[in-house]
Chains A and B, each alone.
Chain A
Amino acid sequence: LAKTTQPISMDSYEGQEVNITCSHNNIATNDYITWYQQFPSQGPRFIIQGYKTKVTNEVASLFIPADRKSSTLSLPRVSLSDTAVYYCLVGGTNFGNEKLTFGTGTRLTIIP
Protein backbone atom coordinates (compact mmCIF):
# COMPACT_ATOMS: atom_id res chain seq x y z
CA LEU A 1 0.00 0.00 0.00
CA ALA A 2 1.28 3.43 -0.91
CA LYS A 3 1.05 5.36 2.35
CA THR A 4 1.10 9.11 2.36
CA THR A 5 2.62 11.66 4.70
CA GLN A 6 1.47 15.27 4.88
CA PRO A 7 2.01 18.13 7.31
CA ILE A 8 -0.65 18.10 9.99
CA SER A 9 -1.42 21.79 9.68
CA MET A 10 -0.50 24.97 7.81
CA ASP A 11 -1.41 28.62 8.14
CA SER A 12 -1.36 31.20 5.38
CA TYR A 13 -2.55 34.75 4.78
CA GLU A 14 -5.22 35.64 2.28
CA GLY A 15 -3.96 36.30 -1.21
CA GLN A 16 -0.87 34.15 -0.89
CA GLU A 17 -0.02 31.01 -2.80
CA VAL A 18 -0.12 27.88 -0.66
CA ASN A 19 1.82 24.72 -1.41
CA ILE A 20 1.04 21.48 0.41
CA THR A 21 3.42 18.61 -0.13
CA CYS A 22 2.60 14.93 0.20
CA SER A 23 5.18 12.16 0.42
CA HIS A 24 4.38 8.75 -1.05
CA ASN A 25 7.63 6.84 -1.27
CA ASN A 26 6.02 3.50 -2.09
CA ILE A 27 3.87 4.69 -4.98
CA ALA A 28 3.23 1.97 -7.53
CA THR A 29 3.52 2.25 -11.28
CA ASN A 30 -0.24 2.36 -11.86
CA ASP A 31 -1.04 4.71 -8.99
CA TYR A 32 -2.59 8.09 -9.58
CA ILE A 33 -2.30 10.95 -7.09
CA THR A 34 -5.51 12.66 -6.10
CA TRP A 35 -6.20 15.55 -3.76
CA TYR A 36 -9.45 16.15 -1.92
CA GLN A 37 -10.73 19.09 0.12
CA GLN A 38 -13.02 18.67 3.08
CA PHE A 39 -15.01 21.30 4.94
CA PRO A 40 -16.55 20.61 8.35
CA SER A 41 -19.71 18.51 8.22
CA GLN A 42 -19.24 17.73 4.53
CA GLY A 43 -17.83 14.84 2.56
CA PRO A 44 -14.46 15.27 0.81
CA ARG A 45 -14.55 17.04 -2.53
CA PHE A 46 -12.31 16.17 -5.48
CA ILE A 47 -9.80 18.92 -6.33
CA ILE A 48 -7.28 17.54 -8.79
CA GLN A 49 -5.69 14.32 -10.00
CA GLY A 50 -2.43 13.60 -11.79
CA TYR A 51 0.01 10.91 -12.76
CA LYS A 52 3.20 12.79 -13.55
CA THR A 53 4.63 16.27 -14.26
CA LYS A 54 2.10 19.06 -13.86
CA VAL A 55 -1.66 19.26 -13.94
CA THR A 56 -3.64 22.48 -13.68
CA ASN A 57 -7.34 23.16 -13.43
CA GLU A 58 -9.46 26.14 -12.46
CA VAL A 59 -8.81 25.78 -8.75
CA ALA A 60 -5.33 24.29 -8.28
CA SER A 61 -2.15 22.93 -9.76
CA LEU A 62 -0.50 19.64 -8.98
CA PHE A 63 3.23 19.18 -9.36
CA ILE A 64 4.69 15.69 -9.51
CA PRO A 65 8.45 15.17 -9.85
CA ALA A 66 9.92 12.54 -12.12
CA ASP A 67 10.38 9.96 -9.35
CA ARG A 68 6.71 10.45 -8.26
CA LYS A 69 7.65 9.91 -4.62
CA SER A 70 6.02 13.17 -3.66
CA SER A 71 3.50 15.65 -4.98
CA THR A 72 2.66 19.27 -4.26
CA LEU A 73 -0.77 20.81 -4.34
CA SER A 74 -0.60 24.50 -5.16
CA LEU A 75 -3.48 26.83 -4.36
CA PRO A 76 -3.07 30.28 -5.94
CA ARG A 77 -4.17 33.39 -4.07
CA VAL A 78 -6.03 31.69 -1.26
CA SER A 79 -9.07 33.19 0.40
CA LEU A 80 -10.78 32.54 3.73
CA SER A 81 -13.04 30.00 2.02
CA ASP A 82 -10.01 27.78 1.33
CA THR A 83 -9.78 26.98 5.03
CA ALA A 84 -10.32 23.23 5.07
CA VAL A 85 -8.59 19.87 5.44
CA TYR A 86 -6.72 18.67 2.36
CA TYR A 87 -6.08 14.99 1.73
CA CYS A 88 -3.58 13.41 -0.59
CA LEU A 89 -4.68 10.01 -1.86
CA VAL A 90 -2.62 7.53 -3.84
CA GLY A 91 -4.21 4.65 -5.68
CA GLY A 92 -4.28 2.79 -8.94
CA THR A 93 -6.84 2.25 -11.63
CA ASN A 94 -6.13 -1.46 -11.64
CA PHE A 95 -7.84 -2.73 -8.56
CA GLY A 96 -5.84 -5.27 -6.70
CA ASN A 97 -4.87 -5.78 -3.11
CA GLU A 98 -5.06 -2.12 -2.35
CA LYS A 99 -7.48 0.23 -0.75
CA LEU A 100 -7.93 3.91 -1.36
CA THR A 101 -6.55 5.03 1.96
CA PHE A 102 -6.81 8.54 3.30
CA GLY A 103 -4.21 9.84 5.71
CA THR A 104 -4.92 12.37 8.43
CA GLY A 105 -4.75 15.25 5.97
CA THR A 106 -3.42 18.80 6.26
CA ARG A 107 -5.54 21.33 8.09
CA LEU A 108 -5.10 24.61 6.22
CA THR A 109 -6.11 27.80 8.00
CA ILE A 110 -6.30 31.04 6.05
CA ILE A 111 -5.72 34.15 8.12
CA PRO A 112 -7.39 37.42 7.10
Chain B
Amino acid sequence: GAGVSQTPSNKVTEKGKYVELRCDPISGHTALYWYRQSLGQGPEFLIYFQGTGAADDSGLPNDRFFAVRPEGSVSTLKIQRTERGDSAVYLCASSLIYGQMLHFGPGTRLLVL
Protein backbone atom coordinates (compact mmCIF):
# COMPACT_ATOMS: atom_id res chain seq x y z
CA GLY B 1 0.00 0.00 0.00
CA ALA B 2 0.97 3.61 -0.44
CA GLY B 3 2.73 5.42 2.32
CA VAL B 4 2.26 9.00 3.46
CA SER B 5 2.64 11.43 0.60
CA GLN B 6 3.26 15.16 0.72
CA THR B 7 2.99 17.80 -1.94
CA PRO B 8 4.75 19.77 -3.13
CA SER B 9 8.13 18.22 -2.44
CA ASN B 10 9.74 21.65 -2.70
CA LYS B 11 8.26 25.10 -2.41
CA VAL B 12 10.04 28.40 -2.93
CA THR B 13 8.13 31.52 -2.06
CA GLU B 14 8.74 35.14 -1.27
CA LYS B 15 8.49 36.73 2.13
CA GLY B 16 4.92 37.75 2.86
CA LYS B 17 3.28 35.21 0.58
CA TYR B 18 0.75 32.53 1.54
CA VAL B 19 1.55 28.82 1.15
CA GLU B 20 -0.35 25.58 1.52
CA LEU B 21 1.30 22.24 2.16
CA ARG B 22 -0.66 19.04 1.62
CA CYS B 23 -0.46 15.68 3.34
CA ASP B 24 -2.11 12.43 2.25
CA PRO B 25 -1.92 9.97 5.14
CA ILE B 26 -2.09 6.21 4.97
CA SER B 27 -5.66 5.10 4.40
CA GLY B 28 -7.40 4.29 7.67
CA HIS B 29 -4.95 6.16 9.88
CA THR B 30 -7.00 8.38 12.16
CA ALA B 31 -4.03 10.11 13.78
CA LEU B 32 -2.16 12.71 11.74
CA TYR B 33 0.76 14.86 12.82
CA TRP B 34 2.65 17.81 11.42
CA TYR B 35 6.27 18.43 12.35
CA ARG B 36 8.82 20.99 11.23
CA GLN B 37 12.52 20.20 10.94
CA SER B 38 15.36 22.65 10.60
CA LEU B 39 18.82 21.62 9.48
CA GLY B 40 20.63 19.61 12.11
CA GLN B 41 17.66 19.50 14.44
CA GLY B 42 15.13 16.87 15.35
CA PRO B 43 11.54 17.22 14.15
CA GLU B 44 9.57 19.85 16.07
CA PHE B 45 5.95 19.07 16.84
CA LEU B 46 3.38 21.43 15.36
CA ILE B 47 -0.08 19.89 15.53
CA TYR B 48 -1.88 16.58 15.96
CA PHE B 49 -5.25 15.57 14.52
CA GLN B 50 -7.45 12.76 15.72
CA GLY B 51 -9.95 12.35 12.91
CA THR B 52 -11.14 15.75 11.76
CA GLY B 53 -10.34 17.63 14.93
CA ALA B 54 -7.09 19.21 16.01
CA ALA B 55 -6.49 17.45 19.32
CA ASP B 56 -3.38 19.49 20.06
CA ASP B 57 -2.21 22.57 18.17
CA SER B 58 0.07 23.88 20.89
CA GLY B 59 3.14 23.45 18.72
CA LEU B 60 2.03 25.95 16.08
CA PRO B 61 4.49 28.84 16.46
CA ASN B 62 1.99 31.68 15.98
CA ASP B 63 -1.33 32.56 14.39
CA ARG B 64 0.17 32.66 10.90
CA PHE B 65 0.10 28.88 10.97
CA PHE B 66 -3.11 26.94 10.60
CA ALA B 67 -3.96 23.36 9.66
CA VAL B 68 -7.14 21.59 8.65
CA ARG B 69 -8.30 18.05 8.06
CA PRO B 70 -11.94 18.49 7.02
CA GLU B 71 -12.79 14.90 6.13
CA GLY B 72 -10.45 13.11 8.47
CA SER B 73 -8.03 12.12 5.75
CA VAL B 74 -6.05 14.70 3.76
CA SER B 75 -4.62 17.56 5.77
CA THR B 76 -3.40 20.98 4.70
CA LEU B 77 -0.95 23.13 6.61
CA LYS B 78 -1.42 26.79 5.79
CA ILE B 79 1.12 29.51 6.43
CA GLN B 80 0.18 33.16 6.00
CA ARG B 81 2.57 36.07 5.52
CA THR B 82 5.56 33.78 5.32
CA GLU B 83 8.82 34.84 6.91
CA ARG B 84 12.37 33.73 6.17
CA GLY B 85 12.42 31.94 9.51
CA ASP B 86 9.65 29.65 8.29
CA SER B 87 12.12 27.98 5.94
CA ALA B 88 12.38 24.33 6.96
CA VAL B 89 11.26 20.85 6.02
CA TYR B 90 7.64 20.26 6.97
CA LEU B 91 6.97 16.63 7.80
CA CYS B 92 3.63 14.90 8.00
CA ALA B 93 3.05 11.56 9.72
CA SER B 94 0.10 9.31 10.36
CA SER B 95 -0.62 6.35 12.61
CA LEU B 96 -3.43 3.97 13.51
CA ILE B 97 -3.12 4.68 17.21
CA TYR B 98 -1.87 7.90 18.77
CA GLY B 99 1.82 7.76 19.49
CA GLN B 100 2.51 4.35 18.03
CA MET B 101 4.43 3.60 14.87
CA LEU B 102 4.26 6.94 13.14
CA HIS B 103 4.67 6.69 9.38
CA PHE B 104 6.32 9.82 8.01
CA GLY B 105 6.08 11.30 4.57
CA PRO B 106 9.11 12.56 2.65
CA GLY B 107 8.44 16.14 3.71
CA THR B 108 8.00 19.45 1.93
CA ARG B 109 11.08 21.61 1.79
CA LEU B 110 9.95 25.22 2.14
CA LEU B 111 12.27 28.07 1.28
CA VAL B 112 11.16 31.62 1.94
CA LEU B 113 13.26 34.20 0.12
Using CB atoms and an 8 Å cutoff, list the residues of chain A in contact with chain B: 32, 34, 36, 41-46, 49, 87, 91-93, 95, 99-105
Contacts and interface: CB of A to CB of B under 8 A. Distances in A.
Given A34-B102, A95-B56, 15 more contacts: A32-B99, A34-B99, A41-B107, A43-B4, A43-B104, A44-B91, A87-B42, A93-B97, A93-B98, A95-B99, A99-B45, A99-B58, A101-B45, A102-B45, A103-B42
Contacts of A46: 101-103
B28 interface: no
Given A43-B91, A99-B58, A99-B59, A105 B99 contact: no
A99 B48 contact: yes
A46 B102 CA distance: 7
Contacts of B45: 99-102
A99 B99 CA distance: 9
A104 B56 CA distance: 22
Interface in B12-62: 33, 35, 40-45, 48, 50, 55-56, 58-59
| Most chain A Cβ neighbours within 10 Å, of B33, B42, B45, B59 | B42
A43 B50 CA distance: 21
A49 B107 contact: no
Contacts of A44: 43, 91, 93, 102, 104
- How many chain B residues sit at the interface, stated as a range, is 20 to 34
14 contacts: A34-B100, A41-B106, A41-B107, A43-B4, A43-B93, A43-B105, A43-B107, A44-B43, A45-B104, A46-B101, A46-B103, A49-B101, A95-B98, A104-B40
A30 B56 CA distance: 18
B64 to A, nearest CB: 20
| Most chain A Cβ neighbours within 10 Å, of B33, B35, B43, B56 | B43
Contacts of B48: 95, 99-100
A99 B50 CA distance: 13
